[in-house]
Structure 1
Amino acid sequence: MKQKLYLWIEDYLFFPNAFQQIIAYLLLPLTFIYMLIILTKRTFAKERDFGIPVISIGNIIVGGSGKTPVAIKLASSYEDVCVILRGYGRASKGLYVISNKGQILEDISVSGDEAMLLAKSLSKATIIVSEDRSKAILKAKELGCKIIFLDDGFSKYNIKKFNILLRPKDEPTNFYCLPSGGYREPKGLYAYADLELKEGRDFNRIITIRKNAKDNKEVSLDKKVLVLTAISKPKRLLEFLPKDTKLLAYPDHHTFIKEEIEEIKEKYKEYQILTTGKDLVKLENFNIKNLYLMHLDIKIEESVDFSLMREYIKSYE
């Protein structure tokens, strides 16, 4: 029941049916208030230059657009790099250095799923979680980092940064802001991006099925396949899989517990259970024998012009 409600909300936010559109219209007064608050904050914010290049990778819709894998792809090209994020879903609060130049210092309860995925994917980077991105930037400088990537940093108006905005391959038919739709900021703010990357045009996801994160060998799929995940917009995973694939989706950043995993293991023991890298860092300790990784890589098209970003980084040397 919870899974159905979660998927219903996702449809309402992005691709609503007629009934859901009526609900969106009824909530428009709240949406206008929300937009006024957002635009006021943006108008009166004063940018602070921290004396270090800060690259923000963000989006203006709710949930995932590929921010974390794009951050991994770009950050892996630089030395002395730090990735800073809030750390949604973590049990901790405050600032934590999750990894320092590749050495992982905290467990997943402290880091959250996205930060742990970044820490395991970037073997030489520093990963910091903090609700206060300004404090995190100062900490990164203290640790000797030379360039910073902000995961989901577009709305941090008080930080001077180079803004990369990711645009989904399938534009939502519902173009309203919260709570009438899935936009966190008005759609017109794409114009504020220093660089806009659209999935399907500027970058694509490359999915391979593997037994685990360390094994690069690709495996084939059986007839019975289940996707077990707790990411935003989980239906997007199905386009890479057979049509009869089952989807078991939990809310974004959901923390799995032993009882529900034991139930899943029994109910789907004859299935190949696929999960994402972000989910695997939470599931790998549950000893699910039929668990496989949907390994995600990002291919950025050669036509994408990063010259402005390189000039921005060079300006701090």
Structure 2
Amino acid sequence: MSALSLEGLARHAWLGRTPSARALRMTLVPAAAAYRAAVGLRNYLYDRGWLAARRVPAWVVSVGNLTVGGTGKTPAALWLAERLAARGHRVGIVARGYRKRRPGPVVVGVEGRALVTAEDGGDEAVMLARRFAGPVVTGKRRHEAAALACARFALDTIVLDDGFQHRALARDADLVLVADDAAADWCLPAGSLREPPGALRRARAVLAVGDAAASVPPGTVVFRGRLAPLAAVRARDGAFHAEPLDALVGRDVVAVAGIARPERLVETLGRLGARVRDVLRFPDHHAYTAADARRIAAAARAGTLVTTEKDLTKLERFPGLEALVALRVDLEVEDEAALLDLLEPAA
């Protein structure tokens, strides 16, 4: 069974919209209970100090969520890093670099330039490196990547992308994103929750993205934000070049998405006024092949090919996809100054 069909089967079970889906989900409930107990024990051990969290010589702010799949963590990490840098801090971004081939910590980019490929550094990290003026470093062991970033670039602030559950690196503040997710009634594998909602007590602040209803523990500070389309992006000469969104308005397009929630790309294109004629779905963090590229190129007969920036980092190398366009999105936050005040290092 392919990764895409496994993802679809899991989502089908989690949503429970048919009797067969609900029956499948119920078979997973005992495993979900065991998973939740294991997560609770792990957090208890960290809270008591029996599992050690390693510190680095910088203020660490984690950006994360409670569920698997896309809530906008990476755009939020970029937003936070840019805003803290604008306030005068020496900021770097540290991420896991999911599915990267190169072992150990990897300096993915500096000064808005990617130094490695998505295959070596991770697709989201390369996307961040193309957009952020500071260093981007990846590593499965985030404390090693953060220590390298601090030593090499003299940072005073680390933004940890997708780090809420990675407690081995001590942090000074957690920003947790929540978004509408009908599958978030159960922990894995019966639902999409990595942790139960009570884990939000660890958060300095919660950011509700879009129209999400934020059900949070008492005393939790909640802000609101949304992901907004910013530009159309093309890859040329090893760099991304932004163009106005007007080029997509009224156009026939084919959406190409290797992300957790491809429907969000489709919905955004529709709101922009593009006519989505077809959708090519691939698993999240998909490693594209030449055969995939040929399939995508053939689909251009139905309209302009539009993908995500994360996917473009992996597809730009294939011949025949020179016309591929990526939709760039940015995070917009209400009362952003107040949120930054909560997350910023103390003066």
Q: Please indicate, yes or no, whether the TM-score normalized by the shorter chain is above 0.5.
A: yes
Aligned to 2:242: 215
Query: TM-score, normalising length from structure 2?
Result: 0.82
- Is the 1:177–1:183 contact (alpha carbons within 8 Å) kept by the matching residues of 2? yes
- SS, match of residue 36 in structure 1: helix
Mapped pair 1:55 → 2:57: no
Kept in 1: contact 2:233–2:328 (CA 8 A): no
Question: Which of 284, 301, 308 pairs up with 2:342?
Answer: 308
Match of residue 31 from structure 2? 30
Mapped to 2, the partners of 1:308 and 1:265 lie a distance apart of 46
For residues 261-313 of structure 1, what are the alpha-carbon distances to aligned partners after superposition, in whole Å with 9 as ceiling and x for unaligned? 11221243231111011111111222414422211111111267322212xx1
Listed one character per residue, the Cα deviations across residues 202-255 of structure 1 (whole Å, up to 9, x for unaligned) are 111111452524133221345532110111111122222337542211111101
Cα distance, 1:10 vs structure 2: 2.8
Q: Secondary structure at the match of 2:198?
A: helix
Q: How does 1:47-86 map to 2 (within 5 A)?
A: 47-77=53-83, 78=85, 79-86=89-96
**Aligned residue number for residue 176 of structure 2:** 165
Q: Please, what TM-score do these two structures have when normalized by structure 1?
A: 0.90
Query: What stretches of structure 2 of length at least 5 have no aligned partner?
Result: 212-223, 235-239
Q: Does 1:298 align with 2:335?
A: no
Query: What CA distance in whole angstroms lies between the structure 2 residues aligned with 1:120 and 1:15?
Result: 39
Structure 1 CA distance for aligned equivalents of residues 183 and 178 of structure 2: 14
Structure-2 residue corresponding to 1:224: 252
**In 2, distance between residues paired with 1:304 and 1:22?**
47
Counterparts of 1:303 and 1:82 in 2: how far apart (Å)? 20
Aligned to 1:175: 185
Alpha-carbon contact 1:209-1:220 (below 8 Å) kept: no
Residue in structure 2 matching 1:126, options 132, 135, 143: 135
Show structure 1 runs of 4+ deviating over 4 A: 1-5
8 A contact 1:16–1:174 mirrored in 2:
no
In 1, Cα distance between equivalents of 2:297 and 2:114: 30
Q: Distance in 2 between matches of 1:147 and 1:14?
A: 39
Matched AA of 1:256: Y
Correspondence for 2:227 among 196, 205, 210:
205
1:127-182 CA-to-partner distances (Å, cap 9, x unmatched) read 111111111121122121110011111112233311110000x2325410111111
Q: Which residue of 1 aligns with 2:158?
A: 148
Partner of 1:263: 295
CA contact (8 A) 1:97 1:105 kept: yes
Contact 1:225-1:246 at 8 Å conserved across structures: yes
Shift of 1:5: 5.2
Q: Secondary structure at the match of 1:259?
A: helix
For the structure 1 residues 60 and 245, does the alpha-carbon distance in structure 2 shift closer, same or farther, using more than 3 Å as the test? farther
Other-structure match for 1:106 = 116
| Whole-Å separation in 2 of the counterparts to 1:70 and 1:15 | 30
Q: CA deviation at 1:8?
A: 4.0
5 Å-filtered alignment, 1:187-198, equals: 187-198=197-208
SS at 1:23 equivalent? helix
d(CA) in 1 for partners of 2:337, 2:27: 41
- Equivalent position of 1:236 in the other structure: 264
CA contact under 8 A between 1:81 and 1:148: conserved in structure 2? yes
Q: Which amino acid is 2:267 matched to?
A: E
Against the structure 1 CA distance between its residues 232 and 173, is the aligned structure 2 distance closer, same or farther, given a 3 Å change threshold? Answer: closer
Structure 2: how far apart are the matches of 1:271 and 1:248? 12
Between the two proteins, what is the percent identity of the paired residues? 26
CA–CA distance in 2 between the matches of 1:209 and 1:97?
27
CA drift of 1:100 comes to: 3.7
Q: Following the alignment from structure 1 to structure 2, what is the Cα–Cα distance between the partners of residues 14 and 125? A: 40
Cα distance per residue 1:70-110 (max 9 Å; x no partner):
11111012142111111112222221111245453322221
Q: Secondary structure at the match of 1:25?
A: helix
Query: Which structure would you say has the larger RCO, counting Cα contacts within 8 Å and 6 or more residues apart?
Result: 1
Indicate the RMSD between aligned Cα atoms, in angstroms: 2.2
CA shift for structure 1 position 67: 0.6
Q: Quick one: distance in 1 between partners of 2:281 and 2:250?
A: 20
Residue pair 1:59, 1:166 contacting (<8 A) in 2 also: yes
Amino acid at match of 2:201: A
